[in-house]
Amino acid sequence: MIEFKGVSKTYNGKVKALDNMNFTVGDGELVGFIGPNGSGKTTTIKLLSGVLVPDNGLVKVNGFDVNKEPLKAKASIGYIADNPDVFLRLKGVEFLNFIGDVYKTPADERKKTIDELAERFEMQNALNSQILSYSHGMRQKLMVIAALMHKPKVWILDEPMTGLDPKSSFELKALMREHTKAGNSVFFSTHVLEVAEKLCDKVVIIKKGHKLYDGTLAELEKRNKDKNLEDIFLELTGKK
Amino acid sequence: MNVFLQLIKITGSSVEPSIDEKKRSQAFGVIMGFLVFTLIFIPVSGFVGYMVYALTKGVVALGGAESAAAGLSLMLHIIALFSVVFGFTVVMSVFYFSSDLNYLLPLPISPMKIVGAKLASTMISENVMECFLVFSALLGFMAGYGFDPPSGGGINAVSIIAAIFGVLTFPVVPICYCAAICLVVMYFSKFFKNKERVSKLTAFSSIVILAALVFALNLSNGFDPDAFVSQLINNDIGLLNVLDKIFFNVSLLSKAMSGSFAALLLYIIANAASVGIVLLLASKLYLKAVISLGGGEGSASSKEAVDAYSKKIKESSQLMTYFKKELKILIRTPAYMSNCMGINLIWPIFIYVFVVLQKQSNFLGDSIDKLKAGDSQTVLFATLLVFGVSVLLTSLNCIASSAVTREGRHFEVMKYLPVDIMTQLNAKALVSIVVSGAGLIVYIITAFAILGIAPSFTIYCVLLSILAVIYSTYLGIYIDTKNPKLIWEDELNALRGNYHVFYNMALELIVTAALCGASYGLFLLGFLPVFIIQSLIMLLAAFLSYEFYTVCKKKGVANIKKIEM
Ligand SMILES: Nc1ncnc2c1ncn2[C@@H]1O[C@H](COP(=O)(O)OP(=O)(O)OP(=O)(O)O)[C@@H](O)[C@H]1O
Ligand SMILES: [Mg+2]
């Protein structure tokens, strides 16, 4: 469950990146977040993960206010940032073990998730070498494994498919679907409209910090008869 | 040429703080900059200048114009040596491990130009402190020699031109040596699997070489100024003769400073030639070596791989796991390994030099006898010395004062992990306390055991040292939370471009000086027995540790929360 109510965010007192943004992601919902470059997606996601503090408004995850009970809120999120280049000097498994300790996941549960996901993502060999030697996609997959070890109810992912090969992105999409089927929430940003179209129950469309649309894809397509999502998106965001 | 200047700007730009960082606390920066300048730069430069002045006076009085520049050339050799030792790690990380390479290499720019730009920006960034030192050395020489000394000779217009050239170009030859050696080593290191290990080894051997050189100065009979000056005049110091051949720029500059126009010309040509040679080497060796960096691991079977990673999955507390993570990063990053860990090993060299210098007067022997006899003034001095060295060692390895800066671009991780910020700062503090504390305990116990000092005083000193380390650590961390430099291109930049290291040292020098003054004052008043003063010092150290821990917990954590990237 994600609640985002009346949130505004300004960088350095100048750049207004988000203006009175509202949306919710319910349990069991898989929600895609789309918008042109610089529209405020990463800003929204950083506000959810506690990296940024809003100027005003309410950000709640799993019932915890991210700014009032930050540790509890953070511990209940599986977060993947837009840049997977962290702690490059650690080996893959050392990074996972660090994250496991930080989120207080018991060792046997850690091992179970790692075994399963490392196989699905073909990362078993790589886990024994330093992250420095990974390709971008491998780093991304490591972040996915790390974010899921503590079995968070809410997943928040910033462009998680970037750089993944077809098999890995298929696996990630499958994981996201399995997760919401089990009654949890997933919120992710993407530029790939087909992914949003095929995968999501709902989409949130944003432009220049303002929400343009928030609802099911079926509803959106009903409103715009005979148009595909790409046309609708381009029209909404004023590129056409 | 335009491209070249642009490149220098790019490769050097990471040294400059961003406008945002600048704004965040300008007044703090100005005040601290002033302190650093008056407390660190000026005294060191003053010392160097005075040494050269005194040596030149002595040498001229004894040996005349012939050997007037002997003292100057000794000091320049020492400066050149240090430039080489520190230059290695700088060149290595700027040339080979800097992240701007990702953008530069695909561009249609010749390797010669890239290396040229990197060489120039290395020299510029290394030059600030060195400029001061060379300037003071040259000034000391000019003052010591004079325009018209009774012994003939003297400085002239050529000397002044040479001085200007010297201050601006002195690091050229030492840095070119580093660059040439790095280019060759890295070229051949394609035969080794792990480049980082090679670069670590290079950094370490440079420390070992420095140590070896200090020992080779062969002052084992103690330091006698008169004998030393006559040795200087007669070229009797073997090591200097060797160095003279290596750093040919030193003797040329010294001769030019004594007024030889031919030497000045040769000096300029030699500098240009060394840059030329490095660029030539670069055009042949650079690209291949830098491109082959990185590269994957050999593939084990998945069964073996699973076994290998499974062994590593173990539980520990948040504090411990964070501590281990920090320590691993410090050890595995070459720039941190040499500047934060390796630097703790140079202290025995200082001690050795000190032991040698005092041999003639037997100051140490007398003091130790007095210490054993319980002479109160000596006991007090020893106590203050332990405090000062502990604080200095901790701030010199900059583990604490770069604790937040080292996070760099992935600083936001500190914010989204479900770990209390203070716990994270404590883990960072623990690394500094363990590394510095372990070093100091080993040094203190070994030294005191060799000297046969009473166990009770040893225990007191160990405790005092640990408290001093804790206080210095939390102060360093607090300073770094104030305005960490989070945008840097390579790790060395995180340490060098980070003035917090100096700020920390400056503040600690003030506190230590105040402490020494106050306790000596108390002692002179004479109504307090020394063990009371010692207890007061211990109490004060405990108070400072607690105080800065609290400051970190309140203000440091708030600072971290305020930073948005
Ligand atoms: N650290 C920052 N400082 C100042 N302005 C920023 C900062 N980060 C983002 N912005 C500004 O905020 C706005 C929203 O940026 P954001 O990164 O949220 O966009 P985005 O939707 O994630 O874009 P993309 O699709 O390119 O990832 C942009 O105008 C950007 O310039
Ligand atoms: Mg983004």
Instruction: Tell me the DSSP string of B293-305.
Output: -S--PPPPPHHHH
Neighbours of B385 (CB within 10 A): 12
Angle between helices B70-96 and B248-257 (to 10 degrees): 140
**Could you give phi then psi for residue A79, rounded to 5 degrees?**
-115, 135
Length of chain B: 565
Q: How far apart are the first and last CA of chain B?
A: 34
Q: Which positions in chain A touch B564 (Cβ < 8 Å)?
A: 11, 52-53
Q: Is residue B61 lining ligand 1, measured as CB closer than 6 Å?
A: no
Q: What is the C-alpha to C-alpha distance for residues A3 and A24, in angstroms, rounded to an integer? A: 5
What's the gap in Å between B107 CA and the centre of ligand 1? 27
Query: With contact defined as beta carbons under 8 Å apart, do B137 and B77 qualify?
Result: no
**Would you call A185 helix, strand, or coil by DSSP?**
strand
The pLDDT assigned to B14 comes to 46
Percent of chain B with pLDDT over 90: 26
Ligand 1: distance of its center to the CA of A41 in Å? Answer: 8
Domain harbouring A56, CATH code: 3.40.50.300
Residues 6+ apart with CB under 8 A from B36: B499, B502, B503, B505, B506
Residue nearest to atom 5 of ligand 1 (CA): A11
The domain locations on chain B are 26-292, 316-562
Name the residue among A81, A87, A124 with its Cβ closest to that of B329: A87
3-state secondary structure of A224: coil
Residue A228 and residue A124 share a domain = no
Numbers of helices and strands, H then E, in chain A: 9, 10
Shared-domain flag, residues A158 and A71: yes
Q: Are residues A166 and A233 in the same domain?
A: yes
The atom number, within ligand 1, closest to the CA of A44 reads 18
Going by C-alpha positions, the residue among B59, B43, B52 that lies closest to residue B253 is B52
Q: Which atom of ligand 1 is nearest to the CA of A36?
A: 25
Q: Is the CB of A238 under 6 A from ligand 1?
A: no
For residues A105 and A180, membership in a common domain is answered with: no
Cβ separation of B418 and A75 shorter than 8 Å? yes
Give yes or no for residue B15 having a pLDDT over 70: no
Together in a domain, A169 and A133 = no
Dist. CA A233–CA B5, nearest whole Å = 44
Q: Establish whether residue A15 lines the binding site of ligand 1, counting it when its CB lies within 6 angstroms of any ligand atom.
A: yes
How far is Cα A195 from Cα A27, in angstroms, rounded to an integer?
Answer: 20
Cβ contact, residue pair B416, A81, below 8 Å? yes
In this structure, what token pair is assigned to residue A9?
């965010």
Yes or no, beta carbons of B309 and A114 under 8 Å apart? yes
Q: How far is A103 from chain B (nearest CA, A)?
A: 7
Q: Residue B309: which of A101, A104, A127 has the nearest Cβ?
A: A127
A232 plus A219 within the same structural domain: yes
- Output the CA angle B511-B513-B514, nearest 5 degrees: 65
Q: Which helix (H) or strand (E) holds A228?
A: none
Interface of B with A in 434-473 (CB under 8 A): none
Least confident segment among A42-51, A126-135, B358-367, B430-439: B358-367
Burial class (CB in 10 A: 0-12, 13-18, 19+), A158: buried
Q: Which of A86-90, B140-144, B460-464 has the lowest mean pLDDT?
A: B140-144
Q: A18, A43, A86, A97: which to substitute to probe chain B, counting the most B Cβ within 10 Å?
A: A97
Closest CA to B516 of B536, B500, B496: B536
Q: Please tell me the distance from the alpha carbon of residue B30 to that of residue B19, in angstroms, as a whole number.
A: 15
User: What is the distance in A from the centroid of ligand 1 to the CA of A36?
Assistant: 11
pTM metric for this prediction: 0.78
> Which of A80, A55, A39 lies closest to A212, judged by CA?
A39
A103/B418 touch (CB, cutoff 8 Å), yes or no: yes
Higher pLDDT, B485 or B357: B485
Residue A161 shares a structural domain with residue A176: yes
Report which secondary-structure segment, H or E, holds A86: none
Locus of tokens 């990296």: A51
Asked if A42 and A147 sit in the same domain, the reply is no
Residue B150 has a pLDDT of 63
Give the nearest partner residue to B305 out of A53, A100, A127, using CB atoms: A127
CB–CB contact B312 A110 (8 Å):
no
Q: Of A103, A134, A151, which marks where a domain is finished?
A: A151
Q: Is A40 in the pocket of ligand 1 (CB under 6 A)?
A: yes
Per residue in B325-373, pLDDT (tens digit) is: 999 999 888 788 878 887 887 777 777 767 766 666 777 778 888 888 8
For residues A217 and A211, give the distance between their C-alpha atoms in angstroms, rounded to a whole number. Answer: 15
Task: Looking at the complex, report in whole angstroms how far the Cα of residue B408 sits from the nearest Cα belonging to chain A.
Answer: 10
Among residues B431, B434, B508, B514, the alpha carbon closest in space to that of B471 is found at B508
Tokens representing B310? 């499974």
Q: Do B297 and A97 touch (CB under 8 A)?
A: no
Three-state SS annotation for B22-69: HHHCHHHHHHHHHHHHHHHHHHHHHHHHHHHHHHHHHHHHHHCHHHCC
Mean pLDDT, residues B304-309: 84
Rounded to the nearest angstrom, the minimum Cα separation between B302 and chain A is: 6
Domain stop point among A151, A180, A205: A151
Element at B114 (helix H, strand E): helix B111-145
Is there an atom of ligand 1 within 6 Å of A62 CB? no
- Helix, strand, or coil here: B20? helix
Give yes or no for residue A26 CB within 6 A of ligand 1: no
pLDDT at A91 over 60: yes
Strands A30-34 and A15-25: unpaired
The two three-digit tokens of residue A150, written as one number: 């503590």
Confirm or reject: Cβ of A11 under 6 Å from ligand 1.
yes
Q: How far is the CA of B498 from the centre of ligand 1 (A)?
A: 27
Binding site membership of A46 for ligand 1 (Cβ less than 6 Å): no
Spatial contact of A3 and A24, defined as CB atoms under 8 Å apart: yes
Distance B157 CA to ligand 1 centre (A): 59
Judge whether B19 is closer than 8 Å to chain A, CB to CB: no
**Average pLDDT over all residues of chain B:** 81
Domain count within chain A: 2
Q: Are the beta carbons of A150 and A119 closer than 8 angstroms?
A: no
**Half-sphere exposure of residue B301: CA atoms within 13 angstroms, side-chain side:** 2
Whole-number Å distance between alpha carbons of B503 and B37:
10
287-316 in chain B: CB under 8 A from chain A:
294-297, 299-300, 302, 305-306, 308-310, 312-316
Q: B503-551, pLDDT tens digit by residue? A: 888 888 888 889 889 988 888 887 888 889 999 999 999 999 999 999 9
Looking at per-residue pLDDT, the higher value among B512 and B499 belongs to: B512
Q: Give CA–CA dist B9/B103, Å, rounded.
A: 14
CB B56 within 8 A of CB B144: yes
Q: Determine which helix (DSSP H) or strand (DSSP E) holds B108, and give its type and residue range.
A: none
Q: Is the Cβ atom of A17 under 6 angstroms away from ligand 1? A: yes
Give the residues across from B551 on adjacent strands.
Answer: none
Q: Are B274 and B176 in contact (CB under 8 A)?
A: yes
- Separation of CA B193 and ligand 2 centre (Å): 37
Beta strands, E only, A108-220: 154-158, 185-189, 202-207, 210-216
Chain A partners within 8 Å of B413 (Cβ) = 81, 86-87
- Count of A-B CB contacts under 8 Å: 116
**Quick one: A188 and A227 in the same domain?**
yes
Helix axis angle, B195-216 to B347-357, nearest 10°: 10
B50 CB-contact burial (10 Å; exposed 0-12 / middle 13-18 / buried 19+):
middle
Contact A165, A58 (CB under 8 A): no
Position B16 confidence tier, pLDDT thresholds 50, 70, 90: very low
Pairing mode of beta strands A77-80, A154-158 = parallel
Same domain? A90 vs A14: no
Pairing of strands A210-216, A202-207: antiparallel
What domain range includes position A51?
Answer: 1-76+153-240
pLDDT given at position B295 = 44
pLDDT score for B55? 82
Among A52, A79, A102, select the one facing B318 at the smallest CB separation. Answer: A102
The pLDDT value given to residue A2: 95
Asked whether A35 and A61 are in contact (CB, 8 A), the reply is no
The string of pLDDT tens digits covering residues B79-122 is 888 788 777 777 887 888 777 777 777 777 788 888 888 888 88
ipTM of the complex: 0.93
Q: Say how many Å lie between the CA of residue A37 and the centre of ligand 2.
A: 7
Higher model confidence: residue A24 or residue B104?
A24
Q: How far is the CA of A155 from the centre of ligand 1 (A)?
A: 21
What pLDDT is attached to residue B200?
67
Distance from CA of B307 to the nearest CA of A (A): 10
Which amino acid belongs to residue B391? V
Q: Probe ligand 1: pick from A18, A33, A42, max atoms within 8 Å of CB?
A: A42
Q: Do A123 and A204 reside in the same domain of the chain?
A: no
**Residue A223, pLDDT above cutoff 70:** yes
Answer yes or no: do A104 and A124 share one domain.
yes
CB contact under 8 A, A89 and B333: yes
User: Which residues from A are below 8 Å from B314, CB to CB?
Assistant: 97, 107
